[in-house]
Structure 1
Amino acid sequence: MALNHILRFLLCLLTFKTGFSAEISVFVQTGDSVHLDIQTQQLPEFDLISWMNDKSEVIVRYNSDSKRVKPLDSYKDRVVFNDVTFSLTLKNMQKTDSGLYTARISGSIITDLVSYRVSVIDSVEAPVLTVNSNWFSGNFCTVNFTCRAHELMINSSYQNNRCSPQEVTSQINTLILDCSKEYIICNHSNPVSWNEDKINIKELCIYKENELNIDQTLSSFLWPFVGSVALCILSLLVFLYFKYKKGAQEEVEGNTVYAQVEAEDQTREKTGNDRPITVYWTLGQHKKPTIPPETDHTVYSEVYKQPNEKLSAISADAS
């Protein structure tokens, strides 16, 4: 029996020295669960096995004799312990749960089997891929763009159907830029999550090519249109010029006729004749023949004469 205890002690010491107690980094996303194993299937005999946090609080204790599992009250609703593999699962992890978790056995000696450095972190934000400029050079489409996420940024360009992959890192966040024949891909990741943004190169270049074709088509229609408008304006200016010239000539002629009429008015003033001196006026100077009055033989004349005759008869009688 003494030999067995000695061998057990040497085994525990050996396992302790060979890395059972090595610290292992584990990342868990906020709100998720974390699973912690003891990392070995050959355990020495023990009375108790406990999982502890860096505050020296016993999260859960298992008694090998009674097979009883006793969790800490603050972890009661969040802990799952496997009494076969002795693994520990913690649920709904928050950032305040970040820290060191250790599996420890107690018996003839106390041995730390494994330790985990647990980091609770949030998921990464989505990166933003921005096209700064794009143009055609020969048969190739060239695109300048920026990949950005958090405090990380990559500037690059897509030429000759390819781009150079790039990667930048800050603490636990990584930004990766890559290209294929169809896409420019910007990937943002951390140990618990990843997110990406991408741009379809074909759609971008086809759009640019269509835009270039439209510009060329508009140019082919624009110059004839401009020529037509210029010709119309020139024709309008020529028309207005001749119209103005004709109006000026008529005004001069009108002034000449007005001068003739004014001269005739002055002549009439000198002769004392107000009548216009025209051909008709000249012909009108000939004396019209005198037409002898005809004897009035109408009823009106007879009636009109009766008073006169009566007056004559009365005058005769008075004499």
Structure 2
Amino acid sequence: MEFRLLLTFVLSTHITGFSAEISVFVQTGASVQLNIQTQQLPEYSNESKKVKLYPYYKDRVDFNDKTFSVTLKNMQKTDSGLYRARASGETENDIVTYRVSVIDAVEAPVLTVNSNWSSPEPCIFTCNGSNITVSFIYDSSICSPEEVTSSDHYTLRLSCSGDSIMCNYSNPVSWKTDTEKVNELCTVNEGTFCIRSDL
């Protein structure tokens, strides 16, 4: 029986009849390896190891003919979508399906404080990501972390440790932090409470 292993790029959000999808996130410009469960593969001949690439993937794909893993290089947002490995012979059998999401690294967050040294009002720290904002009112050296996650997997976390306020902005492929010293920015009073902003 002739056996061929095909990796097909599918631009569709929903396909029925597939095995469970494996979600994979990759940073724009990076590489991703898609593994095949070789124990599920039938016997194959040397002829089946031949690789034929579409022009779009020329110089961007490494294929391991022992493990059948595929490494896609220099991934771009247009490469996001469903990738499936299908064994074709007398019958066709889907081996594995990956949902690949190519996303940019996060930009550095911006941590700001609204305070007035001559005023008894507490400091209000605000952490801004590109698509999320979170704030808390700081009145002492003890505070609880505040975290917001958007529907597109971006997370903004505002927390404190000692006399430092930290703003961490992340997504599944990257993270960046901005830190400020509390005692350099505002007067510390008793009591603490936090408020979360709208997304």
**TM-score of the superposed pair, with normalisation by structure 1:** 0.48
Q: Do structure 1's residue 127 and structure 2's residue 109 form an aligned pair?
A: yes
Aligned length, in residue pairs: 170
Give secondary structure in 2 for the equivalent of 1:42.
helix
Give secondary structure in 2 for the equivalent of 1:96.
helix
Q: Where in structure 2 are the equivalents of 1:1-319 lying within 5 Å? A: 21-38=19-36, 40-47=37-44, 64-66=45-47, 67-133=49-115, 135=117, 143-171=123-151, 172-204=153-185
1:203 offset after TM fit, Å? 3.8
User: Quick one: distance in 1 between partners of 2:27 and 2:139?
Assistant: 38
User: Quick one: distance in 2 between partners of 1:129 and 1:144?
Assistant: 11
User: Quick one: distance in 2 between partners of 1:137 and 1:72?
Assistant: 66
User: Which consecutive unaligned segments of at least 5 residues does structure 1 have?
Assistant: 1-19, 48-63, 210-319
Indicate the RMSD between aligned Cα atoms, in angstroms.
Answer: 2.7
Does the CA contact (< 8 Å) of 1:102 and 1:114 recur in 2?
A: yes
Does the CA contact (< 8 Å) of 1:27 and 1:119 recur in 2?
A: yes
1:184 offset after TM fit, Å? 0.4
Does the CA contact (< 8 Å) of 2:109 and 2:129 recur in 1?
A: yes
Q: Any idea what the Cα deviations from partners look like across 1:238-269, whole Å, max 9, x if unmatched? A: xxxxxxxxxxxxxxxxxxxxxxxxxxxxxxxx
User: Quick one: distance in 1 between partners of 2:39 and 2:116?
Assistant: 63
**TM-score of the superposed pair, with normalisation by structure 2:** 0.75
Quick one: structure 1 residues 202 and 44, their matched pair in 2 at CA, closer, same or farther if it must change by over 3 Å?
A: same
Give secondary structure in 1 for the equivalent of 2:127.
strand
Does the CA contact (< 8 Å) of 2:29 and 2:76 recur in 1?
A: yes
Q: Higher relative CO (CA 8 A, sep ≥ 6), structure 1 or 2?
A: 2
Moved over 4 A (4+): 134-138
Quick one: structure 1 residues 78 and 44, their matched pair in 2 at CA, closer, same or farther if it must change by over 3 Å?
A: closer
User: Quick one: distance in 2 between partners of 1:43 and 1:144?
Assistant: 57
1:204 offset after TM fit, Å? 3.7
Quick one: structure 1 residues 151 and 43, their matched pair in 2 at CA, closer, same or farther if it must change by over 3 Å?
A: closer
Q: Any idea what the Cα deviations from partners look like across 1:117-146, whole Å, max 9, x if unmatched? A: 1111111111111110155999xxx53211
User: Quick one: distance in 1 between partners of 2:43 and 2:20?
Assistant: 20
Does the CA contact (< 8 Å) of 1:168 and 1:174 recur in 2?
A: yes
User: Quick one: distance in 2 between partners of 1:83 and 1:134?
Assistant: 66
1:96 offset after TM fit, Å? 1.0
Does the CA contact (< 8 Å) of 1:156 and 1:163 recur in 2?
A: no
* Equivalent position amino acid for 2:143 in 1: C
Q: Percent identity, please.
A: 60
Q: Any idea what the Cα deviations from partners look like across 1:258-300, whole Å, max 9, x if unmatched? A: xxxxxxxxxxxxxxxxxxxxxxxxxxxxxxxxxxxxxxxxxxx
